[in-house]
Structure 1
Amino acid sequence: MKRSIIFFVLIALLLSACSSSTAAPAAAEAAAIDAPVTTLRVAQQFGLGYAALTIADELNLFEKYLPGLQVEWLQLGSGGAINEAFIAGEVDVAVMGIPPFLIGWDKGIPWRVASGMCVMPLSLQTYKDNINSLADFGPDDKIAYPAPGSIQHILLSMAAERQLGSPTALDDIGVAMAHPDAAAALMNQKDISGHFTSPPYNFQELSQAGIHTVVDGTEAFGTEFTFLVAVASEELYENNPQAYSAFVMGIAEASDYINQHPQEAAAILAPSFGLDEETTLKYLTWPGMNYVTTPLGLMGFSDFMQNAGYIEKVPETVSEIAFPNVVAAIGQQSGTSGELETLQFRPE
């Protein structure tokens, strides 16, 4: 699915950013050059879902849109850790799954979605021949995911509700592990029986004989959904719109670069994942991989999580949890919902 509506994002940003849309191009460029040096603190986790951040960093795309910008990187193991970093005032923007973002929003963290990042195949793998459905996991089995409330955990809960009748049916056998550690444990058949993970870890697991998928994310959610979103603090958006715009436009250009130039992107990304370029290219072009900046599933995750007891409140509209450039990209069709509006919800 190719719905990377970059032009809509750019137009919305240009309309709402610090420089006036009526200013002469030369004046706008001079203003950007004269902008004070700003530090942007960015948090990320592990996996191919964060590839656009790596591309933006390597090609200096954030600095392209705000000369003099200083970017500080923080790598954390879960969305929960990112929530804590935001609460502590240590992060301005972060890339994370929709569920941990919603948990933070529910708790009052002043942030909203600034951009979608990617649609990717997520899946639960096991090496046990006798496990072919969620009902086959027993009390002595362990299923690893990054943390309670992670997108992998919530997708597992969705699948458990469909297959077992309760979203919390497998919570007692869930264990929190960073993806690299869990992938190594699964492939070595140690400590865990299953791993709900994302690219490249599920691709690596499935390349090993005897490992198979029990359930995938699309099956659990019911349709395509955004794996990761970029979130930004209200403070950054209100007080430093230049840095906010530079970040969002840098992500948009990096996403387009991956989609349009996968071979070149693979060469840039391979060292970050400890892979050769051929394998990285294979993973970037794996069926279902799409670096798309318009998020899907925002309302579907929130509705499920409230019903399952993971959050207390849900947004009435997307604008409560997303900044204006995202709301503009999704759109609002009069009379009936447009396609992107409909894709914010789970199918009934």
Structure 2
Amino acid sequence: MIKASLRFVWLAVLAVVAVQAQAEGTVKIVDQYGIGSLLLKVVKDQKLIEKHGAKEGLPIDVQWNTLSGGAAVNDTLLSGAADVATIGIGPLLTIWDRTRDRQDFRAIAALGAVPVYLVSNNPRIKNIKDIGEQDRIAVVSVAVSQQGRLLQMASAKAYGDAEYARLDRLEVSMPHADATTAMLAGSSLIDLHFSNAPYQYQELENPKIHKVLSSIDILGGPSTGSVAAASAKWRSDNPKTYAAVRAALADAAKLVETDRAQAAAIYIRQDGSKLSPAFVEKILGDSEVSFSTVPQNTLQLGTFLHKVGVIRHEPKSWRDYFFNDDPSLKGS
């Protein structure tokens, strides 16, 4: 009887070990459209996760999906449909705040500092205070997207913290590609679009569209816009796969830095873009654009979101919502 019980326990242990072993070597990644997550597109195109796994003797099955908007991406992370995902700093702070001491979602790495612009085709609108009840602002996810959070920050600066959500009711949820088409066509549905790259650059090619505000204006300088995020549990259960993801992102950053033409070609290929290589290369060469896995100027948004009550826990450092894999990194 005792031997049978011990055998049962041993089989149970083996089953747990087998499940853990099966977990290593598979990663489900959800990306978003746009140049802001170029590093992940390079990782996918060049099969960099698979290459780093192979170096460690671990075949890695990488499964990819692409969605539009931070809210949808957060849902995939929370449901377990994705292990790693591209999200903006605003959505990251929200999911970090709500899952502390549970799944504990944090950023693996920054994906770059690519500014986002609020643009308008209405000549009446010169600054945020010109936006009125008759106007409509396209964002990928009302209030909760990266652009939505930045607009709240801009509203607080213009009208005071109590009015941070003043413009939320004027927002319309719309994918960036659809909003760009509407703006260029002069549609009556929207007259502003809080955009991202490459769409904002396409829009500004039209002389009837102008920039009202940028993330650089709101945050006082360049800042990381998007990150790759995962849960602490997935990280601890899959240390080799996690390490391969981190190493792949670092390699992708080097490629973008050293070969702009190849990076542009990869973006066009992976996003199915019809933009010319020269146009994309021009964006990548913009002095406001950079790609680094080290976070830049992110804490300010977290401090604001806590101050107005959007998140309950105040981050004291960028390391609170990033995994501390390299204590020597000098992020912000």
> How would you bin the TM-score normalised by the shorter chain?
0.7 to 0.9
Alignment-derived partner of residue 103 in structure 1 = 94
Alignment check: 8 A CA contact 1:149 1:310 kept:
no
Structure 1 residues 121 and 263: CA distance shift in structure 2, 3 A:
same
The one-letter amino acid paired with 1:118 is G
Percent identical among aligned pairs is 28
Matched, 1:167 2:164: yes
Among 109, 125, 134, the residue aligned to 2:128: 134
Alignment-derived partner of residue 69 in structure 1 = 60
Alignment check: 8 A CA contact 2:38 2:111 kept:
no
Matched, 1:94 2:114: no
Question: Bigger shift: 294-303 or 318-327?
Answer: 318-327
Alignment check: 8 A CA contact 2:29 2:63 kept:
yes
**TM-score, normalised via structure 2 length:** 0.85
The one-letter amino acid paired with 1:158 is M
Structure 1 residues 326 and 43: CA distance shift in structure 2, 3 A:
farther
Shift of 1:163: 2.1
Alignment-derived partner of residue 285 in structure 1 = 285
Structure 1 residues 37 and 236: CA distance shift in structure 2, 3 A:
closer
The one-letter amino acid paired with 1:232 is A
The one-letter amino acid paired with 2:323 is F
Matches within 5 A, 1:1-348: 38-67=25-54, 68-108=59-99, 109-147=103-141, 148-165=143-160, 166-190=163-187, 191-271=189-269, 272=271, 273-325=273-325, 327-330=327-330, 340=331, 344=332
Alignment check: 8 A CA contact 1:114 1:326 kept:
no
Alignment check: 8 A CA contact 1:318 1:327 kept:
no
CA distance in 2, matches of 1:277, 1:125: 24
> How many residues matched?
299
Alignment check: 8 A CA contact 1:35 1:66 kept:
no
Alignment check: 8 A CA contact 1:226 1:297 kept:
yes
CA distance in 2, matches of 1:326, 1:153: 31
Question: Bigger shift: 160-169 or 285-294?
Answer: 160-169
The one-letter amino acid paired with 2:224 is T
Alignment check: 8 A CA contact 2:24 2:241 kept:
no
Alignment check: 8 A CA contact 1:115 1:295 kept:
yes
Structure 1 residues 208 and 70: CA distance shift in structure 2, 3 A:
same
Question: Bigger shift: 35-44 or 295-304?
Answer: 35-44
CA distance in 2, matches of 1:36, 1:159: 43
Alignment check: 8 A CA contact 1:37 1:70 kept:
no
The one-letter amino acid paired with 1:178 is P
1:118 counterpart SS class: coil
Alignment check: 8 A CA contact 2:184 2:203 kept:
yes
Unaligned runs of at least 5 residues, structure 2: 1-20
